[in-house]
Structure 1
Amino acid sequence: MKPPVLPGIDPEAISEEQAYAGITIHIPGSVKMCWGDEIRFYWGKNLSSTTLFHRVGKDSIVRVLCVSYNFTPYIQFGLVDLYYELYRDNRLIGTSPVLRVNVNYSAPATSRQRQRKRLVNRRFFDT
């Protein structure tokens, strides 16, 4: 099984704004997956589950989720593990590799704010 995919998102630098707006997650298909299997997706402590009602190809996307901190019970910042488990008849068949993302508490500073901070720091070192 393959790890979850965040299309168009840098998993090492998810901003607080992105987390609240919603992050799209793709669950890739696997030859292990069959009709009727249950996929349990974890975003840290948050769980979302679904049943497969179609055939799965190895290069397909079997589930597309949107995780928004506006609608999740456990809001986590810092390093967060993303993975999914595959169940058949309530038995664990497999677990995907973990995709570890970094959700920053505040939006990254703009280039102008970074430049201003450098100038202030230089003034203190020059005296």
Structure 2
Amino acid sequence: MTERKTNPCFKQCPSRRFIELIGDKWALLVMHALANGPRRNGQLMQEIEGISQKMLTQTIRRLEANGLVARHDFQTIPPKVEYTMTELGCSFRTVLSSLDDWLDEHVPELLMLPV
């Protein structure tokens, strides 16, 4: 067995910061939406039901600051800004896809969970 380079259970492990970042439900949902291609702010607001503009802005800024999302300002009037996954963000698509597969497989059990 190969020795792992990370152990997020240790407080000082660099992987822990990433897990804390994507462990936020809004971050995971924004990444999920962007996995399908570039999105404008309004598109993200429509696609991610229940997110407020304030929370979307905060989430995108955190993802951008951590190198997962890129903001492209087209410098037009009216303003046009688009968000995309960075190369690092794109490498996370496999994890998102695996999560989607797991969720699809376990829908009956998930429907039984208490709210």
The normalised TM-score by structure 2 is 0.29
Larger proportion of strand: 1
Larger RCO, structure (CA 8 Å, separation 6 or more): 1
The normalised TM-score by structure 1 is 0.28
